[in-house]
Structure 1
Amino acid sequence: MAVSKGDTEDEPREPHNLIELIETIEAIETPSGKLRFDAVLEAIGRRSFGPLLLLAGLVTLAPVISGIPGVPSLMGMFTFLVCAQLLVGRRTFWLPAWLRNRQLSSDKVHKGLGWMRKPSRMIDRLVYHRISFMTGDFAIRVIAVTCFVLSIAMPPMELVPLTVNIAGVALTLFGLAIMARDGLLSIIAFIITGISLFTMLYNLL
């Protein structure tokens, strides 16, 4: 959900698809060999719900990155905070310093993003504006509630193989749906969310 009021010329250009998001992250300089989460947020902007969901989805989806212990839970906390703030009406998303200052190996991040480049190009070709009521203001709030619930489930999902990656698919599709106003992706993401939650509960209960 983009915000125009109070924008400045220094506000980063919002990515509009998967490839643009990947290229934005890859362009961040990492002289220390570590990629700070805050640097990624600064590069993609803190005011748009879609790109932030897409970021959480990509990190959770990529096996090279999500396989690092604690990363899915970290993305769950990130999603939780972003969704909670959208639901209470905040226009710029705030995150605590301990989350912003988290770092990952830039080599692993680039490897994970490289793994996703080819499928991302294919997906971007299939995304376009359709079934717009599924990405309107009310629908975005429903998406936020759904992702809020999903974020709470992500830490226990680490105990069930692949379920957290399925959650990453759902977050990725929700982010893309909002950015491209593609209601079909939103519908698919709701279905995948249900599958990921059912799979987790089935294996843990």
Structure 2
Amino acid sequence: MNQPLQNLEQLLDRVGELAHDNDEVSIGMVVESIGSRSFGPLLMLIGITLFSPLSGVPGMSFFMASFVLLIAVQMLIGRKQFWLPHYILDRSVEHGKLEKALGWLAKPARLIDRVLKPRLTFLVHNGASYGVAAVCVVIGLCMPFMELVPFSSSAAGLALLALGLSLVVHDGLLVLLALVVFGATFTLVVVNIL
């Protein structure tokens, strides 16, 4: 059984092993690799996807929004293991594209992991994790509108990555960072749409 992930580099390494061993990597393979009970790593995976060059794939924001909503709602209702439909689990990416995205993310991941540590833990422990899930629901509902403003889905990905990391490393400062990033992105989207 895989050990729980403790940082961003470990997540990238685990996904990288899948990319190395397979011609195509499906979301189902990644979820099985990181664990279907792991809300934080799943959020990190979504955030990385939206923040990487893979976000340029048409419809990726809408697809990832449905993924976020499914996971966050299940966390809010207290499910211990996440259920995801086959249309999400079967979606795959060619290993070359995945390895390129992972290579692009390796250096930032090392830098991020150096500054993370447990702090402001009241923002991520016990009932606060439901607050994180509620913020994820709001982000997921806003993401389809972000397709209208260039790079805004990447900012939403950064917020989701910060929320996922906050749950993995128990760093409440990341929750505050995610709220600031999402608030600024939401404001930018509203201003550009109106």
Q: TM-score range by the shorter chain?
A: over 0.9
Mapped partners of 2:68, 2:38: distance in 1: 13
Q: Which runs of 5+ in 1 are unaligned?
A: 1-9
Summarize the Cα distance change of 1:79–1:156 in structure 2 as closer, same or farther, 3 Å threshold: same
Mapped partners of 2:9, 2:91: distance in 1: 24
Deviation at 1:105, TM superposition (A): 1.9
Deviation at 1:32, TM superposition (A): 6.1
1:88 to 77, 81, 90: 77
- C-alpha contact 1:135 1:178 (8 A) present in aligned 2: yes
Deviation at 1:71, TM superposition (A): 1.6
- CA-based RMSD of the aligned residues comes to 1.3
- How high is the TM-score relative to the length of structure 2? 0.96
Mapped partners of 1:34, 1:90: distance in 2: 30
Superposed structure 1 runs of 4+ greater than 2 Å apart: 29-33
2:11 to 21, 25, 33: 21
Q: Show the counterpart of 2:61.
A: 72
Partner secondary structure for residue 35 of structure 1: strand
Q: Over residues 162-189 of structure 1, what are the superposed CA-to-partner deviations in whole Å (9 max), with x where a residue is unaligned? A: 1000001100111111111101111111
**1:138 and 2:127 are equivalent in the alignment:** yes
**1:35 and 2:25 are equivalent in the alignment:** yes
Deviation at 1:14, TM superposition (A): 2.2
1:50 to 31, 40, 44: 40
Partner secondary structure for residue 81 of structure 2: coil
**1:193 and 2:193 are equivalent in the alignment:** no
Q: Show the counterpart of 1:121.
A: 110
Mapped partners of 1:61, 1:72: distance in 2: 11
Q: Over residues 32-70 of structure 1, what are the superposed CA-to-partner deviations in whole Å (9 max), with x where a residue is unaligned? A: 6321110010110000111111111000110x2111112
- C-alpha contact 1:13 1:45 (8 A) present in aligned 2: no
Aligned length: 194
Structure 2 counterpart of 1:68, which letter? V
**1:151 and 2:140 are equivalent in the alignment:** yes
Mapped partners of 2:109, 2:50: distance in 1: 15
Structure showing the higher helix proportion among its residues:
2
Identity percentage of aligned residues? 36
Q: Which runs of 5+ in 2 are unaligned?
A: none
Mapped partners of 1:29, 1:108: distance in 2: 9
Which is worse superposed, 83-92 or 150-159?
150-159
Structure 2 counterpart of 1:87, which letter? L
Mapped partners of 1:32, 1:126: distance in 2: 33
Mapped partners of 1:148, 1:109: distance in 2: 27
Structure 1 counterpart of 2:150, which letter? P
Mapped partners of 2:160, 2:140: distance in 1: 10
1:165 to 138, 154, 161: 154
2:169 to 172, 180, 185: 180
Summarize the Cα distance change of 1:150–1:67 in structure 2 as closer, same or farther, 3 Å threshold: same
Partner secondary structure for residue 84 of structure 2: coil
Deviation at 1:30, TM superposition (A): 6.3
